Structure 1
Amino acid sequence: MGLPVDPGTDGAAAQRADHRGGRPRDPSRDDELCRAALELLAEIGYERLSIDAVAARAHAGKGAVYRRWSGKAELVVDAIERFKGPLAKPDTGSLREDLEEIARAFAETGSVFETRVMVGLISAVLQDEVLREVFRRHFEESRRQVFETVFRRAVERGEIPPERDLELLVGLLPALILQRVLLYGTPPDHAFARRVVHEVILPLATAPAPSPASPPTRCDR
């Protein structure tokens, strides 16, 4: 399902107008608009969310939104980034400690609001191609790079066999978080992330490489 087109103000035109002069942009409004977007995402879902509704909730003009974001996909993803914060970029010299640092980044919140925000986002990402691409490019990719760096360093230190499938390891925690949210409506917390690290990722990452199979013996009959 594609993004609904908001009638009225054109985003690109509003951005050009902003660069031509006029009142300077107030950075404090960014957080207010993002908060309004998250509240609406939790209350009515992504499909029904509109730029008009966000502007009205934040008591702002529609042009104020378009001067900051080109559309609602960019607005929602930016709001999620601000809400979740950046993922830790550890470099402790140990795979176990690096993954522990990442696990600690998942706060013990579990609030009803956070659950609704995540359910609204994930269900929309699965259905909306535009949102999915913006989410992948601006949110998921930066977190993926953190995991890739952690595992690549572990290979260089000899903690992980060089032939280990790093692509599989990188996707494990995000995949299990997605499953948890969709099936149980529960956002990830520190305890869950730590269990995944210790019971799934570390055992799989550090398991000894399998011995090469012996060639089959030919039996003459």
Structure 2
Amino acid sequence: MSRTHGVGETSKARGRGGRYLDSSRDLALREAALAVLAEVGYDRLTMDAVAARAGAAKTTIYRRWRDKADLVVDALNSLKGVPDVPDTGSLRQDLRALAESTTSAESRFGAQVTTGMVSALARDAVLRRVFWENFLAPRMAGFRTVFERAEARGEMPEGHDLDLLAGLFPALVLQQLLMPGDPPDARFAGRIMDEVVYPLATAPAAPAPDTAAGVKTDG
């Protein structure tokens, strides 16, 4: 089960001006943002185009979202959901559960939407910050929690860079999105977990660079 993210989690929520807003418009606005993003990409997406697609005033959008980066990332979260962190008691099963939940909402449309943001992420600092804080970081935190539990159970040797491990799966999925062919599906995600992430997580941790180089430290 995934948790959706965004303003529309309750029937009414406070807008940016402090007023209560009817969230029945949120879904239409998010869907319009995703549709425009899939068609023209992030750089060419405008609030005017989203408002026209949704049949809403532009001010309606700005009451809910600060800027187009905030709107697009929130809409992407509503499409994919934030996966729950599994706790099966097994690292391999936890990773498989994460793979399944991550790709269960994936589709060719979802892949097209995500791909539409990729080139902009490298150039747009605001989008990059919002995407990291509201989309990528919560997902990587889930991976880190799974690895921390595995360490505590003794399934993983200590000394691994857990943040590095947590970033492997998103990086490989993103690479697959950029390649020709089908978008990443549950089978592809499962292979990443079984053939890349799990073997690396359970292998002995690499020695620190100074130790590997034979450099002695003081003390």
Q: TM-score range by the shorter chain?
A: 0.7 to 0.9
8 A contact 1:108–1:190 mirrored in 2: no
- Tell me the alpha carbon deviations over residues 81-117 of structure 1, each in whole angstroms, 9 at most, x when there is no partner: 0000111210111111111110111127542x22321
8 A contact 2:90–2:150 mirrored in 1: yes
CA distance in 1, matches of 2:181, 2:38: 12
1:153 aligned onto 2:149: yes
> Letter of the aligned partner of 1:107 in structure 2?
S
Match of 1:11 in 2: none
CA distance in 1, matches of 2:110, 2:133: 22
Q: How does 1:9-24 map to 2 (within 5 A)?
A: 15-16=16-17, 19=19
TM-score using structure 1 length:
0.82
Change in CA separation of 1:126 and 1:139 when aligned onto 2, cut-off 3 Å: same
Q: Find runs of 4+ consecutive structure 1 residues off by over 3 angstroms.
A: 208-213
Question: What's the RMSD between the two structures over aligned residues?
Answer: 2.1
Q: CA deviation at 1:42?
A: 0.5
Gaps of 5+ in 2: 1-14, 215-219
- Tell me the alpha carbon deviations over residues 20-43 of structure 1, each in whole angstroms, 9 at most, x when there is no partner: xxxx52211101000000000010
TM-score using structure 2 length:
0.82
Return the structure number with greater strand share: 2
Change in CA separation of 1:210 and 1:64 when aligned onto 2, cut-off 3 Å: closer
- The structure having more radius of gyration, on CA atoms, is 1
Gaps of 5+ in 1: 1-13, 216-221
8 A contact 1:38–1:80 mirrored in 2: yes
Change in CA separation of 1:29 and 1:161 when aligned onto 2, cut-off 3 Å: same
Tell me, what secondary structure is at the counterpart of 1:184? Answer: coil
Change in CA separation of 1:210 and 1:55 when aligned onto 2, cut-off 3 Å: closer
1:173 aligned onto 2:183: no
Q: Sequence identity of aligned pairs in percent?
A: 51
Q: CA deviation at 1:199?
A: 0.4
Change in CA separation of 1:109 and 1:140 when aligned onto 2, cut-off 3 Å: closer
